[in-house]
Amino acid sequence: MHLIQTRDDDGVLELRLNRPERLNALSLALARDLLAAVREGVADPAVRAILLSGEGRAFCAGKDRDDLPTPAFVDTLQALASALVHAPQPVVTAAQGWVVGAGFEIMLNGDLVVAARGARFMLPEVQVGLFGTGGVAALLPRLVGLQKAKGLLMLGQELSATDAERWGLVWQVVEDDALPAHALALARQLARGSPALLAEVKRLVHREQLGDFDATLAREAQVHARLQGAVAAIRPREIDHIVLRVTDLDRMLRFYCDALGCSVEKRQEKIGLVQLRAGRSLIDLVPVDGELGRTGGAAPGREGRNLDHFCLRVEPFDEATIRQRLQAHGAEPGPVEQRNGAEGEGPSIYVSDPEGNVVELKGPPQG
């Protein structure tokens, strides 16, 4: 269950994102579940305050990078923003760890934020050529001022919890281990207030400060759609792995492990392959006299080569789109096959560049 819902006797509805292994990154399914839960809570007269939280080391690391970007995802985020901003109940957000992209924007949709001292805030959409969602164009400048808002949106750089409090993004910063109790106590304090009065406070403040918020959401969605169409169909995220053809495996292992600090991740003696872990990436060593190595031609040297191929982790991984784009540029991609990479086994496509170097394009791990 990726969304945990609880309600206490004070009428506090807590909606907890529960994908800690993905830093609570939002898939379309989770975003839809959160939207449905917010709408149900708003419509329930027994709910007097809403608390948004995240399980584990992060509140929300934004959109799940392995989920294909779709108009439905943006539509869901905009509907969620509208539901939270227009909710008559006060909305408290407990923010710890990474609060990134869509997670940052959901936080802005609430009313009061309690942040852990170790929290980090970022709007990185500009780094992939996109604009934010969730009414950030209206909310952010009113919270931090025009210049700081443009800086956060244009630079995509990280902001500490201390700076977020100083800039007016959060109500209170507490020690990391005190966050759950403080956020719940604040939500309960609000739940004990007059529902009609708190609803009027929200309505009037939002009307005076945000204007037609839903019109802002619509304009954001239009800009997002235009930019999404302009973004490259293939977006390299990082180098997943490289494959080196080697003549002296033991010597290479000593260099990469002892000198450079890599570690052996996997050995496949039968086919002749040793995988080394280098941070988030892999270096595959393939002896030229092994089963794999013999298929690659001459050994490294003046007439041979030592780079078999390198692999780019790309997103989104959509076979039809990738194939169409490569063919439009005169390249002929190979078939999609399941191959191992730094994150595990997943779909990949081989293609050669104009000078014969082989590039593997790899999608997200499966299973």
Is residue 42 included in any domain, yes or no?
Answer: yes
Residue pair 138/213 in contact by the 8 Å Cβ criterion: yes
Residues 263 and 354 in one domain: yes
What's the pLDDT at 35? 97
Ranking 125-139, 222-236, 318-332 by mean pLDDT, the lowest is 222-236
Selected residue with higher pLDDT from 69 and 78? 78
What's the pLDDT at 126? 84
What's the pLDDT at 13? 98
CATH number of the domain within which 187 lies = 3.90.226.10
- Which residue of the set 125, 220, 315, 360 is catalytic? 125
What's the pLDDT at 329? 76
Is residue 306 included in any domain, yes or no?
Answer: yes
Residue pair 315/65 in contact by the 8 Å Cβ criterion: yes
Residue ranges in 92-212 assigned as alpha helix (H): 102-109, 136-144, 146-155, 161-167, 179-191, 195-210
Is residue 347 included in any domain, yes or no?
Answer: yes
The pLDDT tens digits for 188-207 are 999 999 999 999 999 999 99
Residue pair 323/361 in contact by the 8 Å Cβ criterion: no
Sheet harboring 159-160: ordered strands across? 98-100, 120-122, 159-160
The residue-averaged pLDDT of 219-227 equals 84
Left (φ > 0), alpha (ψ -120 to 50) or beta: where does 23 sit?
left
3-class secondary structure, 156? coil
| Nearest residue to 272 (alpha-carbon basis) of 252, 289, 257 | 289
The pLDDT tens digits for 96-141 are 999 999 999 999 999 999 999 999 999 998 877 778 899 999 999 9
* CA–CA separation, 117 and 269 (whole Å): 48
Is residue 169 included in any domain, yes or no?
Answer: yes
Ranking 142-146, 250-254, 298-302 by mean pLDDT, the lowest is 298-302
Ranking 42-51, 262-271, 348-357 by mean pLDDT, the lowest is 348-357
Instruction: Categorize the per-residue pLDDT at 232 as very low, low, confident or very high, splitting at 50, 70 and 90.
Output: low
Instruction: Categorize the per-residue pLDDT at 283 as very low, low, confident or very high, splitting at 50, 70 and 90.
Output: very high
Is residue 367 included in any domain, yes or no?
Answer: no
Residues 268 and 202 in one domain: no
The residue-averaged pLDDT of 333-360 equals 89
What's the pLDDT at 47? 98
Is residue 256 included in any domain, yes or no?
Answer: yes
Q: Any catalytic annotation for residue 125?
A: yes
Q: In the chain, what percentage of residues exceed pLDDT 90?
A: 67
What's the pLDDT at 155? 92
What's the pLDDT at 367? 62
**End position of a domain, from candidates 214, 230, 246:** 230
Residues 195 and 289 in one domain: no
- Whether the per-residue pLDDT at 145 is higher than 90: the answer is yes
**End position of a domain, from candidates 209, 230, 251:** 230
Residues 225 and 240 in one domain: no
Residues 208 and 259 in one domain: no
Residues 72 and 138 in one domain: yes
Q: What is the CA radius of gyration of the chain?
A: 25
**End position of a domain, from candidates 210, 230, 250:** 230
Residues 199 and 311 in one domain: no
Q: Give the chain's mean pLDDT.
A: 91
What's the pLDDT at 95? 98
Burial tier of 99 (Cβ tally within 10 Å: 0-12, 13-18, 19+): buried
Residue pair 15/34 in contact by the 8 Å Cβ criterion: yes
Is residue 146 included in any domain, yes or no?
Answer: yes
pTM of the model: 0.68
- Whether the per-residue pLDDT at 279 is higher than 70: the answer is yes
CATH number of the domain within which 302 lies = 3.10.180.10
Residues 192 and 123 in one domain: yes
Residues 46 and 9 in one domain: yes
Task: Say how many C-beta atoms besides its own lie within 10 A of residue 366's C-beta.
Answer: 10
Q: Which positions ≥6 away from 103 have C-beta within 8 Å?
A: 24, 26, 54, 58, 59, 60, 61, 62
What's the pLDDT at 127? 78
The residue-averaged pLDDT of 65-91 equals 90
Joined together, the tokens standing for residue 26 give 């939002």
Residues 21 and 114 in one domain: yes
What's the pLDDT at 346? 92
What's the pLDDT at 74? 92
The residue-averaged pLDDT of 285-300 equals 82
Residues 222 and 341 in one domain: no
The residue-averaged pLDDT of 47-60 equals 98
Ranking 117-121, 314-318, 358-362 by mean pLDDT, the lowest is 314-318
Task: Say how many C-beta atoms besides its own lie within 10 A of residue 327's C-beta.
Answer: 12
The residue-averaged pLDDT of 320-327 equals 82
Range of the domain at 268: 236-362
Residues 184 and 309 in one domain: no
The DSSP code for 317 is: -
Is residue 343 included in any domain, yes or no?
Answer: yes
Residue pair 284/246 in contact by the 8 Å Cβ criterion: no
- Whether the per-residue pLDDT at 290 is higher than 60: the answer is yes
Q: What is the domain count for the chain?
A: 2
Q: In the chain, what percentage of residues exceed pLDDT 70?
A: 96
The residue-averaged pLDDT of 154-178 equals 96
The residue-averaged pLDDT of 168-176 equals 97
Task: Say how many C-beta atoms besides its own lie within 10 A of residue 339's C-beta.
Answer: 17
- Whether the per-residue pLDDT at 316 is higher than 80: the answer is no
